[in-house]
Amino acid sequence: ETGVTQSPTHLIKTRGQQVTLRCSSQSGHNTVSWYQQALGQGPQFIFQYYREEENGRGNFPPRFSGLQFPNYSSELNVNALELDDSALYLCASSLVILAGEQETQYFGPGTRLLVL
């Protein structure tokens, strides 16, 4: 167990709806990264939050947004859901001392989102 938790574990939404996914980072970690993993593919980087600010983003549209709270937990929000958003959403926490320095990321169990 990594100490990273995510909720909910599973979620079913319909196209056009909005969804919020939550992540609690491992104790002592200050950075949370979010990934989307479609079936049979590797995780794709969505964005990273460090010190409550987004400091890196992958190739995802603005309808993917997030927050990081003072306790370093994080939310991923997706608006106007599309069928292709169906995937496993993973968060990973890490301790970053210097911005840009990659430390080991510990993944949570993920949230499986199905968009109908």
Binding site for other proteins (CB under 8 A): 33, 35, 41-45, 48, 50, 55-56, 58-59, 88, 90, 99-102, 104-110
Residue closer to other proteins (CB basis): 71 or 104: 104
As a whole number of angstroms, the distance between CA 29 and CA 41 comes to 27
Closer CB to other proteins, residue 74 or residue 105? 105
Nearest CB to other proteins, comparing residues 27 and 102:
102
Q: In 10 A of CB 11, how many CB atoms? A: 15
As measured in angstroms, the least distance from the Cβ of 101 to other proteins is: 8
What is the spatial distance between Cα 71 and Cα 80, in angstroms, rounded to a whole number?
A: 28
Minimum CB distance to other proteins, residue 84 (Å): 17
Phi and psi of 77, rounded to 5°?
A: -115, 135
Closest CA to 96 of 76, 77, 72, 66: 72
Q: Which is nearer to other proteins, 34 or 78 (CB)?
A: 34
**Residue bearing tokens 């709806």:** 17
Could you tell me the smallest distance in angstroms from the CB atom of residue 60 to other proteins? 12
Tokens read off for 39: 């079936």
Report in angstroms how near the CB of residue 15 gets to other proteins at its nearest.
26
The DSSP secondary-structure symbol of 96 reads -
